[in-house]
Amino acid sequence: MLGQMMDIPLSISTLIVHADRYHGDTEIVSRMVEGPSADNGRDIVKGIHRYTYRDAHRRARKLANVIRANGVEFGDRVATLAWNGYRHFELYYGISGIGAVMHTVNPRLHPEQVAWIVNHAEDKLMFFDLTFAPVVEKIAALCPTVKAWIAMCDRKHMPSIKVDNLLCYEDVLESASDSFDWPVFDERSAACLCYTSGTTGNPKGVLYSHRSTLLHAMASIQPDVFGMSGRETVLPIVPMFHVNAWGIAYSAPMVGAKLVFPGPGLDGASVCELFEQEQVTLSAGVPTVWLGVLQYLQQSGKKPTSLKRMVCGGSAVPPALMRSYEQDYGIKIHQAWGMTEMSPLGTYGSLKKKHDALSPEEQFAIEVKQGRAIYGVDLKIVDGEGNELPRDGKVSGDLLVRGQWIIDSYFRLEKSPLVDGWFPTGDVGTLDPDGYLQITDRSKDVIKSGGEWISSIDLENLAMSHPAVAMAAVIGVYHPKWDERPLLVVVKKPGTELTAAELIKFYDGKIAKWWTPDDVQFIDALPLGATGKVQKNKLREHYKDYKLPGA
């Protein structure tokens, strides 16, 4: 017997309809890509665009008409190459709302990779921010499926590039009707496509559905997760071009939170200016971004007045970073763990009631973990033979996940990555009896010394707690006796003095002696990938013939 309740499909268009109807006057504020002098005719602050969910919905309907008029049909892919901003937000709804697939392309990739991805997805249209006009000029001739290239600006700012079928976003919107009824279709239909930043081989496409996107957004707003409400002002630094800004472009309209988009201004000064100007209460980004913001705050002596919580994830969050924000600025960092293949949220760091009885240090020891499973995601760790390992917080193993917003198979790849219905994450970690996950490494980053494993993340976190260290990465390098030994690669804070011997001594008593890095290399900057993560494969390549002392 079936239940007798309404069977209304979960669809992305319902979010913007809801936000328009029930939070119609809530603001969306964006730093404009056109630059600080761009006058939008409305806001008193130049270079800042300000409108409401109602306005965004109206323009998303116009966009839906434009996209259809350009020959896009149900299931077709439409690409974006854009920063976090109001036009990108409109595209999120205009494209998915008609049943087409919004394909967010990471503009930090090499143009050749961008072209490869666009061709693999067979994108029909490409919307791009002005910053990426040079990329478009390079790839246009290589992407035959793209029928039109639409510059996200007004006529005045059109880029002078030689590209066939170049259109102006504001022009095409201007002439389009704002009358559009969002179609109703199967909630399992594809809504958005994002390619993994994969360090080896070709990128792989993750195809989210309307259902997975809505369920993920609903889960993310819970009090123990982002804790998002209509009283919040949210600034996603995490890009809309990578895993949908961790769902914030969907969860904010769901609760009616004010949205603030940083555009291309991701440096500490620009971000902090928006925090203050718009009185932001919640923000989200990867550790490298928060390190940059922290350096700016320390150098400028400024203190955010409204910001209370930050979500941080994408790579391990150094405990020293969490401590600095909490102690010096009263801002709590919550660690999140997930993947492109997981929409991306899997776990979130928040305490339980019973933890009230713990000392601040004991609480901190829990908060530095990657968090506990969000309802909708199940986790387990297994040994090399696939046998489940105990959840005792000690034994570490390969981490597997399953859930309603987790990948089943990659776009246009036949072989499913699943193992008995579980997705192998490629991460290694422990699970404790309360379900808190601690990632010790990516399986390929683990250092295998004399048959035992050393966690590169633990060594990096310790290095990062040294006052003279700005960034640190640990890789395994060849050792004739132990196979691999840890090499610590460090970027010093400007104006500090530090020797390799001092840093190695710093590990004394903090870690098992045999885990101590064998050597330290100081460099000017760590190689960062397209999503702000340290590219350890590049470091490994660079140091592949490195001779450790005593080796």
Cα–Cα distance for residue pair 528/533, rounded to 1 Å: 5
Q: What is the CA radius of gyration of the chain?
A: 24
Site for ligand AMP in 167-226 (CB under 6 A): 196-197
Closest CB 42 distance from ligand AMP, rounded Å: 36
Site for ligand AMP in 504-543 (CB under 6 A): 531
Closest CB 238 distance from ligand AMP, rounded Å: 10
Nearer to ligand AMP (CB atom), residue 251 or residue 531: 531
Going residue by residue from 90 to 129, which x/- string records binding to ligand AMP, judged by CB under 6 A? ----------------------------------------
Nearer to ligand AMP (CB atom), residue 302 or residue 402: 402
Should residue 244 be labelled a site residue for ligand AMP when binding is judged by CB under 6 A?
no
Query: Active site residue: 14, 26, 196, 281, which one?
Result: 196
Should residue 316 be labelled a site residue for ligand AMP when binding is judged by CB under 6 A?
yes
Report the residue from 13, 220, 315, 516 that binds ligand AMP according to the rule CB under 6 A: 315
Nearer to ligand AMP (CB atom), residue 67 or residue 336: 336
Cα–Cα distance for residue pair 198/430, rounded to 1 Å: 24
Nearer to ligand AMP (CB atom), residue 34 or residue 445: 445
Q: Give the total of residues touching ligand AMP (CB under 6 A).
A: 21
Cα–Cα distance for residue pair 138/527, rounded to 1 Å: 24
CB atoms within 10 A of CB 416: 12
481 is annotated as an active-site residue: no
Q: Which range of residues in 165-173, 244-252, 299-307, 334-342 is near ligand AMP by CB under 6 A?
A: 334-342
Should residue 343 be labelled a site residue for ligand AMP when binding is judged by CB under 6 A?
no
Q: Which range of residues in 17-25, 389-397, 415-423, 424-432 is near ligand AMP by CB under 6 A?
A: 424-432
Using DSSP, state whether 184 is helix, strand or coil.
Answer: coil
Nearer to ligand AMP (CB atom), residue 268 or residue 313: 313
Q: What HEC string does 194-255 produce?
A: EECCCCCCCCCEEEEEHHHHHHHHHHHCCCCCCCCCCCCEEEECCCCCCHHHHCHHHHHHHH
Q: Which range of residues in 55-63, 339-347, 464-472, 502-510 is near ligand AMP by CB under 6 A?
A: 339-347
Please name the amino acid found at residue 284.
A
Task: List, in order, residues 6 or more apart from 299 with CB less than 8 Å away.
Answer: none
Q: Which range of residues in 11-19, 168-176, 209-217, 314-322 is near ligand AMP by CB under 6 A?
A: 314-322
Report the residue from 439, 446, 447, 526 that binds ligand AMP according to the rule CB under 6 A: 439
Closest CB 103 distance from ligand AMP, rounded Å: 16
Nearer to ligand AMP (CB atom), residue 220 or residue 335: 335
513 is annotated as an active-site residue: no
Should residue 440 be labelled a site residue for ligand AMP when binding is judged by CB under 6 A?
no
Query: Active site residue: 90, 232, 341, 367, which one?
Result: 341
Report the residue from 127, 180, 337, 543 that binds ligand AMP according to the rule CB under 6 A: 337
Query: Active site residue: 308, 332, 453, 538, which one?
Result: 453
Angle at 432 between CA 430 and CA 435, to 5 degrees: 105
CA–chain centroid gap for 498, Å, is 33
Please name the amino acid found at residue 199.
T
- Classify residue 7 by burial, with Cβ atoms within 10 Å: 0-12, 13-18, 19+: exposed
Cα–Cα distance for residue pair 197/529, rounded to 1 Å: 8
Tell me the residue number closest to ligand AMP, measured at CB.
Answer: 340
Answer yes or no: are the C-beta atoms of 89 and 134 closer than 8 Å.
no
Should residue 430 be labelled a site residue for ligand AMP when binding is judged by CB under 6 A?
no
Going residue by residue from 472 to 511, which x/- string records binding to ligand AMP, judged by CB under 6 A? ----------------------------------------
In sign, the C-alpha dihedral spanning 135, 138, 140, 143 is negative
Task: List, in order, residues 6 or more apart from 59 with CB less than 8 Å away.
Answer: 90, 94, 173, 178
Should residue 335 be labelled a site residue for ligand AMP when binding is judged by CB under 6 A?
yes
Should residue 370 be labelled a site residue for ligand AMP when binding is judged by CB under 6 A?
yes
Query: Active site residue: 448, 510, 544, 547, which one?
Result: 448
34 is annotated as an active-site residue: no
Prior bond to 344 cis, omega within 30?
yes
Please name the amino acid found at residue 113.
Q
Nearer to ligand AMP (CB atom), residue 470 or residue 530: 530
Cα–Cα distance for residue pair 23/467, rounded to 1 Å: 46
Answer yes or no: are the C-beta atoms of 306 and 276 closer than 8 Å.
yes
Closest CB 196 distance from ligand AMP, rounded Å: 5
Q: Could you tell me which of 418, 258, 248, 263 has the C-alpha nearest to residue 344?
A: 248
- DSSP lists the bridge partners of residue 427 as 442
Cα–Cα distance for residue pair 7/326, rounded to 1 Å: 45
Place of tokens 């309360």: 434
Answer yes or no: are the C-beta atoms of 369 and 319 closer than 8 Å.
no
C-beta contacts of 110-115 below 8 A and 24+ residues apart: 111/135, 111/138, 111/139, 113/203, 114/81, 114/139, 115/139, 115/142, 115/143
What ranges in 316-428 are assigned the alpha helix state H? 319-329, 360-367
453 is annotated as an active-site residue: yes
Should residue 339 be labelled a site residue for ligand AMP when binding is judged by CB under 6 A?
yes
Closest CB 416 distance from ligand AMP, rounded Å: 18
What ranges in 375-522 are assigned the alpha helix state H? 456-464, 500-506
Place of tokens 């990938």: 529
Q: Which range of residues in 10-18, 28-36, 41-49, 332-340 is near ligand AMP by CB under 6 A?
A: 332-340
Should residue 340 be labelled a site residue for ligand AMP when binding is judged by CB under 6 A?
yes
Q: Which range of residues in 133-141, 175-183, 337-345, 493-501 is near ligand AMP by CB under 6 A?
A: 337-345
C-beta contacts of 154-158 below 8 A and 24+ residues apart: 157/34, 157/38, 157/130
Report the residue from 442, 493, 538, 540 that binds ligand AMP according to the rule CB under 6 A: 442
Report the residue from 55, 90, 278, 427 that binds ligand AMP according to the rule CB under 6 A: 427
Residues tagged active-site: 196, 341, 448, 453
Contact positions vs ligand AMP (CB under 6 A): 196-197, 313-317, 335-340, 344, 370, 425-427, 439, 442, 531
